[in-house]
Structure 1
């Protein structure tokens, strides 16, 4: 009876482990539409801004094309897109996002458009320390079919690099005052916008796919084990 009991216990433990593994495993991103559409030319739309910082849209928009170009896409220059919108009376990101997809395709000739939203942009201050944070959402929509090909989000924060240091409470307060003074006198969020853009729009696990022009075309980044 004893071996039988041991085998039952082992089986129960194994079953629990398998169930736990299945519960924590995340389904891979479905790239069916992305692979079928094979967009090669992208139009990056001016990002919507949910933050209180008026500099968020231009700061994020200016740095959004670099990771896409590095992935092999032809990306319409931001200055060209901005000027085209302005010449046609479109002066806000909200108005630009309201333009019909066929019209965007007609004017810019792109295969797909990247619609972005800034959810967080700026520095929040605390008694000890501060956190400069940029959080972005994006989705890629095929301008030929209207189908959404991909969506994702990413965050970059100064808190990632902050480490606890000695010196007591007085030392921490002095460091906090100095750091807050520097961040309030400069747009510290600009650099983190670049990092967030890179995390969001460069090929990665569950991220965008490399361009059809890229040597890595069709390859889906796999999670590291």
Structure 2
């Protein structure tokens, strides 16, 4: 009997320790360099695509300006940036990210550049279903000092934009999977998912997002 009681007490203690560990708050990012740099203008470089989908770079890049602008930053227009790089013989993201920071600052007048890598973009097919997934990570780099001011990741799936499923029947799931496979090959169904991923990736504000930009009414409150 005493042994059983002791075991229950040990189990209870272990549970308490586990709950305490789970409740421990995550360590807040270090914003010291970010606050010192006070970037006002951001250059969003074309994301490097590490997926088989050739639409990934443009699909995500076109969604990245809005969350930054709404967060209080001036963002170098993507069309201006793209044409400038093209005239200088640069079109591939892998080449563009090799450009010297000082050169980027001189040409575009930006305080910081956003470097992004896409690790998932498009439909992931299973036996009886498929799901659209977009995942990317970014780092904000000070073009004056080269310091990394912030890093983040963002991901979204088709469920975030109401992507249809086949319900509970096997036949229904097979039909939906077949329809999605055909339609995804004809158009970019990842585009709306990329919008959600971009919002999550470039969220502004606590606990771990970008700091509010100088055009935000919340500038300096974080």
> Does residue 76 in structure 1 map to residue 76 in structure 2?
yes
- CA deviation map 1:21-61 (0-9, x unaligned): 24652111111111121111100011111011111111111
Q: What residue ranges of structure 2 are gaps of 5+ in the alignment? A: 1-8
1:120 counterpart residue number: 120
- Mark the runs of 5 or more structure 1 residues left unpaired by the alignment: 1-8, 221-225
1:1-225 to structure 2, matched below 5 A, reads: 17=16, 20-22=19-21, 24-25=23-24, 26-160=26-160, 161=162, 165-166=167-168, 168-204=169-205, 205-220=207-222
Q: SS of the residue aligned with 1:39?
A: coil
Q: Deviations over 1:126-174 (max 9, x none)?
A: 22110111111100001111110000111111145566723x3222222
TM-score (norm 2): 0.86
The answer as to whether partners of 1:60 and 1:194 remain within 8 angstroms in 2 is yes
How many angstroms apart in 1 are the aligned matches of 2:179 and 2:29? 43
Does the CA-based 8 Å contact 1:129-1:180 persist in structure 2?
no
Cα distance in 2 for partners of 1:140, 1:29 equals 13
Residues 125 and 151 of structure 1: CA distance in aligned 2, closer, same or farther (over 3 Å): same
1:81-134 Cα deviation digits (max 9, x unpaired):
011111111121111100111111111111100011111111122221101111
> Could you tell me whether the CA contact under 8 Å between 2:140 and 2:151 is conserved in 1?
yes
TM-score (norm 1): 0.84
Across the aligned residues of Structure 1 and Structure 2, the Cα RMSD in angstroms comes to 2.3
- Residue 20 of structure 1, CA deviation: 4.5
How many pairs align? Answer: 210
